[in-house]
Structure 1
Amino acid sequence: MITVENLTKSFQGVSALNGVTLDVEAGTVLGVVGPSGAGKSTLARCVALLERPDSGAIRVDGTDITSLDGSALRAARRQIGVVPQGDSLLRQRTAAGNIALPLESAGVPGPQRRTRVGELLDLVGLTDKAAAYPDQLSGGQRQRIAVARALAANPSVLLADEPTSALDPETTGSVLTVLDRARAELGVTVLVVTHDMNVVRKICDDVAVLEQGRVVEHGKVLDLVGNPVSRTSSALLPAVDLNPINESSYDRVADVVLVGFAAVGALLPEAAHRFGVELNIVGGGLTRLGETPVARFRLGLNGERSDSALEWIGEAGGAVQRSLKGPQGVAA
């Protein structure tokens, strides 16, 4: 588990981090998002001990790593793998040679090095590229080798700073699959710094939103999308366009968020049948967060029990935000 407590960091009098506090459960993927200059990369560099914070604590499995020095600090750094932003491979080394580099530095014997490199090439799906040099690899392949290199020393934490920047969608998917496999198969806790909310949509369990060096939102992705006013919900879910002409045709209009196969597939038809109302989807759409289907719909309802139908949807697990439109017209 990673715990960040009241972390601060300034550069030449300009605050980059201002009291950042986070908890990251072991074996999860946390997406750190926010606008440029929000402090995302600074936070990652502090957690990786590449920068010393001005104050605060960073605890990994209960140990405050900011208080370490000497051999204890070096040992702690080996537990944190880092995938730097941009192309970081050494051009004079093959793919296998790049992965082996941390193992050579740690004095791991040759046979063990070769075994470990082989395992990691298999993990990232590039066994056939072991002898290729970086300039013979695509951008996505180079990034997957960089992930393998960061995993070479069996770290408990993996930090990836903008791992999909400048990659096309298909290549991005292959890199994200590797990060997800690192979590699922190796039990690594992954922190991904990104500006791309598709990264959060595809692999993140939790998300932390930074603005001006502060955490303004933090929690499990599936919990946050259920809050219609959260930043995460706005960024990840399908947009709902306001159409006053359509809204005037209904007794009640409401926006709902439905999470999970059962809710998305059955909740709305059940509400219409149970309360004898006409229920139409007039906006919104479906997406997936990891393997979980999530819908945000604008609903138009007609019928005397429209309010009761919406209340039941809320009680059954849907997040309901009612509109003031319609002759029944009170917000709930």
Structure 2
Amino acid sequence: MITVENVSKSFWSRTGNVVALDGVSLEVAAGAALGVVGPQGAGKSTLARCISLQERPDAGIVRLDGLNTATLDTRSLRATRRQIGVVTADAQLFRQRTAAGNIALPLEQSGVDGPQRRARVGRLLDLIGLTDKAAAYPEDLTVGQRRRIAVARALVGEPGLLLADDPTAGLDADGTAGVLAVLDRARAELGVTLLVTTQDSSVVRRICDDIALLDAGRLVEHGNLFELLHDPESRAVKELLPVIDATPSVGQDRIADIVLIGFAAVGALLPEAASRFGVQVSVLGGGLTRLGETPVARFRIGLRGERSDSALAWIGDRGGIVHQPLAGPQGVVAA
């Protein structure tokens, strides 16, 4: 469990004091995957450095499994840092070392013996899908492959927490997919708690359970992705789900925004509602995406027929998230 309690951090720059974090509080459950999202300068990397104990906050507390890290002496701080794996977008590999040699370096520095090093490095090469590149040098690898090697190096010490600061920055689609697959496998197979900072909301959609939205050093929103779907005003939902760009429509008895979760709901709920209640259902805007492996639709729909209200209620009873209908009879906006 990671607990961040009212953490603030400021830096001095040429323009004066810059507040990077302003009273941020959040929790990350053991084994969870949290995506910290926000624009450049939002404070994401500063939060990552505070949690990974590379920076001390000016105020507030970071707790790791209940341990108040502010109370640690220098020796204890070093030992605690070894329980945290960190990978960044600018992580560099040593050109004179092979892929396996780069992964093994932290173990060599810690005095781990040869057989243990080889076994652990072999397992991680398999996890990142680069066993066949063990003897390759960085210059012979793609940027995405080098980034995966950097993730493996961060994992080789068997940390309980893996912190990935903007891990897909500068990667093409294939490189991004490879890195995200590795992070997801690390969590599933090694049991690490995962914290990812990114400007790209698609990263959160693909591998995270929870989201923390930062803006100008403040925590705007924090919660479970699927729970936040129920809030029509959620900024995270607006970041993660398709934009509703609906064209004006007349002649509808009801217009409503809905969210459908799961294969059955996305594929069948609207046609079944239309058939069951004898109404015409039209999709006016929105689209489909996925949260992890789960399909999620966000639509604006129009309904025509005497039982339109009953159809909307039935969709809600079957797990659809129906926000307040936007229009009354014949497309007249409801009061």
The two structures have a TM-score, normalised by structure 1, of 0.95
- Is 1:259 matched up with 2:232? no
- Is 1:296 matched up with 2:288? no
Q: Is the 8 A contact 1:253 1:326 kept in 2?
A: no
Which residue matches 2:273?
271
> 1:6: Cα distance to partner?
0.6
- Is 1:8 matched up with 2:5? no
Distance in 2 between the 1:122 and 1:156 partners?
Answer: 19
Gap runs ≥5 in structure 1: none
> Equivalent residue of 2:271, what SS?
helix
> 1:143: Cα distance to partner?
0.3
Q: What do you get for the CA RMSD once the two structures are aligned?
A: 1.5
Which residue matches 2:127?
123
| Structure-2 change in CA distance of 1:254 and 1:158 (3 Å) | same
Distance in 2 between the 1:101 and 1:214 partners?
Answer: 37
Q: Is the 8 A contact 1:256 1:299 kept in 2?
A: yes
Which residue matches 2:154?
150
> Equivalent residue of 2:222, what SS?
strand
Which residue matches 2:67?
63
Distance in 1 between the 2:334 and 2:109 partners?
Answer: 64
Which residue matches 1:323?
326
> Equivalent residue of 1:88, what SS?
coil
Which residue matches 1:111?
115
CA deviation profile, 1:212-247 (whole Å, cap 9, x unmatched): 111101111122233232122212212222211xx2
Q: Is the 8 A contact 1:225 1:236 kept in 2?
A: no
Q: Is the 8 A contact 2:89 2:147 kept in 1?
A: no
Q: Is the 8 A contact 1:248 1:325 kept in 2?
A: no
Question: What percentage of aligned pairs have identical amino acids?
Answer: 65
Q: How many residue pairs align between the two structures? A: 330
> Equivalent residue of 1:178, what SS?
helix
Paired amino acid for 1:203? I
Distance in 2 between the 1:216 and 1:126 partners?
Answer: 39
Q: Is the 8 A contact 1:49 1:66 kept in 2?
A: no
Which residue matches 2:43?
39
Paired amino acid for 2:8? T
5 Å matches for 1:219-298?
219-244=223-248, 247-298=249-300
CA deviation profile, 1:114-167 (whole Å, cap 9, x unmatched): 111111111111111112111111100000000000001100000011111111
Picking from 12, 16, 19, the partner of 2:23 is 19
Picking from 174, 181, 202, the partner of 2:178 is 174
Which residue matches 1:48?
52
Q: Is the 8 A contact 1:258 1:296 kept in 2?
A: yes
- My pick for the range that moved more, 251-260 or 39-48, is 251-260
Paired amino acid for 2:280? E
Distance in 1 between the 2:71 and 2:7 partners?
Answer: 13
Which residue matches 1:102?
106
- Is 1:214 matched up with 2:214? no
Q: Is the 8 A contact 1:7 1:21 kept in 2?
A: yes
Q: Is the 8 A contact 2:251 2:331 kept in 1?
A: no
Which residue matches 2:312?
310
- My pick for the range that moved more, 162-171 or 312-321, is 312-321
Distance in 2 between the 1:40 and 1:331 partners?
Answer: 41
Q: Is the 8 A contact 2:5 2:62 kept in 1?
A: yes
Gap runs ≥5 in structure 2: none
Paired amino acid for 2:166? E
> Equivalent residue of 1:327, what SS?
helix
Paired amino acid for 1:273? S
> Equivalent residue of 1:241, what SS?
coil
Distance in 1 between the 2:39 and 2:332 partners?
Answer: 38
Distance in 2 between the 1:65 and 1:248 partners?
Answer: 60
Picking from 132, 136, 143, the partner of 1:132 is 136
Distance in 1 between the 2:115 and 2:61 partners?
Answer: 39
Distance in 1 between the 2:90 and 2:51 partners?
Answer: 19
Q: Which runs of 4+ in 1 moved over 4 A?
A: 328-332
> 1:330: Cα distance to partner?
5.8
Paired amino acid for 1:152? V
